Amino acid sequence: MAGVEEIRTGIAVATEKAQAGIAAISQASLQLDEARSALATATQGSGQADVAQAHGLLAEALQVLAGAQATVQASITTAEGYAARL
């Protein structure tokens, strides 16, 4: 089994990678929000069902990404808590 310092170092590396993942998710969210705005502008006044569906799907994707960010952050917090107790 790895020593305490090796475990802490490994957790620090994992945390850094996870934070980079959160940043990537944030960037993806920004892009999707811009896509949603562009779609809203392009389809303003349309009553077509597929337009409403496209809007809903983008909103759902944004919610999923927000959930993923929260889950990754919870993982970081949990791992850091473990490292602190070592």
Q: 16-69: per-residue pLDDT in tens?
A: 999 999 999 999 999 999 999 999 999 999 999 999 999 999 999 999 999 999
| 3-state SS assignment for residue 62 | helix
Q: What is the pLDDT of residue 2?
A: 80
pLDDT > 80? residue 4: yes
* Torsion from C-alpha of 43, 46, 49, 50, nearest 10 degrees: -20
Q: What is the pLDDT of residue 57?
A: 97
Q: Domain spans of the chain?
A: 4-85
Q: How many Cβ atoms are within 10 Å of 76's Cβ, its own excluded? A: 19
Q: What is the pLDDT of residue 5?
A: 93
